[in-house]
Structure 1
């Protein structure tokens, strides 16, 4: 089970895959803007790892200037039910998490 957790729940993996699944093929800058708080260096590293793992496809266009686009692979798309379950859980429990944080911080 540990390799699966390492692949799917590594920091930034879920937001990257979710953005590619939700919005389709994107250029690096578009993806960076959607995720928001990720640095370009970390996004590059995570995209390379996800490409290596077969979850993301990278397409290079030999133009001037060169263009690169990223999209979720079929293997990555197979994680959609997992993301749907996480989104459903989040919608149903985010208020509880926020309340727990307030109570914890009040101590």
Structure 2
């Protein structure tokens, strides 16, 4: 069993020592389910990237901004948000740690890529 508080502290310390200002750890991998702790120092950004079929972001510590297209949403510790299905990014507005939960495949539901290639 992993302790999220311990993981958050450890990875925030590692992010502060990292030249890129971040640290991440995939701690749960069960079939298509993934959970990762991501720590980022203030000002650090994760560039826009594609979204998995389903995902949520829970802020364990700090204040982050979720971006995507022209949308932006600020989240603080204790808040959880479904991630957009379009490209999105993340910026730490202060030293922050988030819990990213993703489902990389859903049985019987094609991904947008599969839908586009079979249409």
Q: With structure 1 as the length reference, what TM-score do the two structures score?
A: 0.30
Higher strand proportion, which one?
2
Larger gyration radius, structure 1 or structure 2? 1
